[in-house]
Amino acid sequence: MTKVHYKIIVVLLLTINTLLSNTYRSYGQNCGCTVTFKKSQAVNGVNILDGRKAPYNRLKPGNTLCIQAGNYKELRFINFRGNGGRPITIKNCGGRVTTQNGINILGSRHVKFSGAGTSSIKYGFKVARARGTGLDVKGLSSNIEIENVEIQNTGFAGIMVKTDPQCNQPKTWRKNFTFYGLKIHDCYIHDTHAEGMYIGYTGGFERSGKKCGGKPIFGHLLKSVRIYDNLIVRSGWDGFQLNLAVQDVQVYRNTVIGYGTKRVAYQNFGWSIGGGTRGKFYSNFIYQFNAYKKTGNPQNLKSSGVQVISNQDTFFYNNVIVNSERHGIFIHNRLSSNKLNFREGYHFANNTIVGSGNSGIFYNAASTLRREEKLNWRRVFYNNLVVAPKIRHERNRTWKSRNENFVDFNTQKMLNKAKSNTRNNVYLNSIGEAKFTRPNNLIIDARNYQLTNGSRAINAGLNNARSFGVSADYNEARRTNTFDAGAFEYGSSSLRGGKLRVEAIATRAGNRVNFQFKFNKGGQASIVVEQLNGARVQQLYTGRIAAGTRRLDWKNARGGLYRIKIRVGNQEVSKIMKV
């Protein structure tokens, strides 16, 4: 090699090195990073990032820790501390961050864990698989926000948030610790072995299943909880489980499609809410596939769409629950009288419940601690639209009549006591009578159960539901002075607001699927059919698209469960379709 050649190579190497350095610097600046964890720093195992150690101890409240795009074995974040209003943000940068054995957040306060670091990617953090839980928040963590994360193929839950009480750690006991400020939104969780989300300790609210030195100890409470705009598909156990969330709780605009896939008794509800929880639960969609029902099992082993157990003041409205194996909503008020505030109650209004295997709503007030009916506890059942339950109580010689197919009670005494607050519900024996918009749509969507002209649910409701918060419908359209029954006001549209909103209809003709999409806004668009894990099946469209209607075809469509990923500009929505 000549000296000239040698000099040229040296210059080239120095130039490449400079470019790479500039790339990393601009990379951090573009993402707004204070500190960046680079792929080159990763180990083939557990990557532990400790907020007490350099360089992460330089992070102050309001700063940002970036994780460079790439594949990692496992990520563990410990001891990161922001403060109220100024969290430490942990986000992806430069593309998607994928882990092969989950993510843990421990001993951290005021942290925002965000997969929104790259505008062209909806879920910037992806847990591709995990031996245990996908994203586990524990170790006395509090004030945590989680957004834009995809989780799949977990050995246990998708997202779990709780610190279990330990005998040798009194600081984990309820009297010494409360989790404040939990926010989980815009996450996509699918194909978990256990719960899609598991929030709060399940060892008891009024009495505890754990003892230390012969004395019971209790798991911590949660206060100020917001869980919204999440999509959960094919959870092995419950789709969503929430316990011990006792103050300032709102859970809304979440979708659960297919739950209890492992068919484990008592772990197979679309939702399970309990442990003294009090809050508002509204505009959620819960749908079950026939494939996950346990044909031939005793009734007490079958799952319901929603299980509400041992709750305190509860407001449940504008929810759509379809095809549950047992009850649409099963309510069991297990708490003893001395734990209840009798100025509170259970309020179930304007829910649409379709095709439940047993009664649409079942209420059981008997306590597990003593046989008491709590007849004076307030129970409100207004404006619910209950359609096509499969039970027929009137065929049996009991005190139950046709009405109990729709809203049922554990005793006749309770039925009689509840009559004054069981009002203006609409009970229909068949889906055809309901006059829904598109119950046979291949796209699994709550809006398939909107009302069309002539439905008996139109103007059938009471507007006193306003007194506990029902002022709009599932589509966030204002309810008129005369409420309709069910989750939707007749004529309301989802194509409202500045965010991307898409209505989709899919029908099959032979081996072809015909789509009709309606957009509330236009722009550069991409519409892709994917498997749930993100593997591309068919590109339906790419190019500019206008607001309004667009029809597309998928030729040679194969049977299966798919995600339709629809992107316009930097906004993305998902639809789940079964062919």
Per-residue H/E/C for 364-424: ECCCCCCCCCCCCCEEEEECCEEECCCCCHHHCCCCCCHHHHCEEECCHHHHHHHHHHEEC
Model confidence at 412, in pLDDT bands (50, 70, 90)? very high
Model confidence at 28, in pLDDT bands (50, 70, 90)? very low
Q: What is the pLDDT of residue 27?
A: 41
How far apart are the C-alpha atoms of 142 and 433, rounded to whole Å?
Answer: 49
482 has a pLDDT exceeding 50: yes
Q: For the chain, what percent of residues have pLDDT higher than 70?
A: 92
50 has a pLDDT exceeding 70: yes
- As a whole number, mean pLDDT of residues 179-202 equals 98
Question: Which is it for the CA torsion 152, 154, 157, 162, positive or negative?
Answer: negative
Tokens of 34: 């204070």
Short-list 229, 224, 72, 115, CA closest to 161:
224
Short-list 347, 320, 348, CA closest to 494:
320
Phi and psi based region of residue 446 (left: phi greater than 0; alpha: psi -120 to 50; beta: remaining)? alpha
Give the tens place of pLDDT for each residue, 260-309.
999 888 899 999 999 999 999 999 999 999 999 876 666 666 889 999 98
181 has a pLDDT exceeding 90: yes
DSSP at 29 = H
Give the tens place of pLDDT for each residue, 426-438.
999 999 999 999 9
10-19, 245-254, 472-481: which range is least confident on average?
A: 10-19
Q: What is the pLDDT of residue 364?
A: 87
Q: What is the pLDDT of residue 365?
A: 76
Q: Cβ neighbours of residue 6 under 8 Å, at least 6 residues apart?
A: none
DSSP at 220 = P
11 has a pLDDT exceeding 70: no
Q: What is the pLDDT of residue 17?
A: 42
Question: Which is it for the CA torsion 444, 503, 226, 381, positive or negative?
Answer: negative
Long-range contacts of 402-407 (CB under 8 A, 24+ apart): 402/427, 403/427, 404/359, 405/359, 405/360, 406/359, 406/360, 406/361, 407/359, 407/360, 407/361, 407/363, 407/381
3-state class (DSSP) for residue 265: coil
Average pLDDT score, the chain: 92
Burial 297-309 (b: 16+ CB within 10 A, else e): eeeeebbbbbbbb
- As a whole number, mean pLDDT of residues 78-104 equals 97
Tokens of 549: 């209607």
Pairing of strands 523-531, 536-545: antiparallel
Q: For the chain, what percent of residues have pLDDT higher than 90?
A: 82
52 has a pLDDT exceeding 80: yes
Model confidence at 370, in pLDDT bands (50, 70, 90)? low
- As a whole number, mean pLDDT of residues 13-41 equals 62
Q: What is the pLDDT of residue 218?
A: 96
Q: What is the pLDDT of residue 10?
A: 38
Residues paired with residue 426 on neighbouring β-strands, in sequence order: 385
Short-list 440, 457, 397, 465, CA closest to 578:
440
Q: What is the pLDDT of residue 140?
A: 98
Q: Cβ neighbours of residue 151 under 8 Å, at least 6 residues apart?
A: 126, 127, 130, 134, 135, 158, 159, 187, 188, 189, 190, 192
Q: What is the pLDDT of residue 520?
A: 95
Q: What is the pLDDT of residue 339?
A: 79
3-state class (DSSP) for residue 3: helix
Short-list 396, 456, 376, CA closest to 424:
456
Exposed/middle/buried for residue 499 (C-beta within 10 Å: 0-12, 13-18, 19+): exposed
> 490 or 366, which is more confident?
490
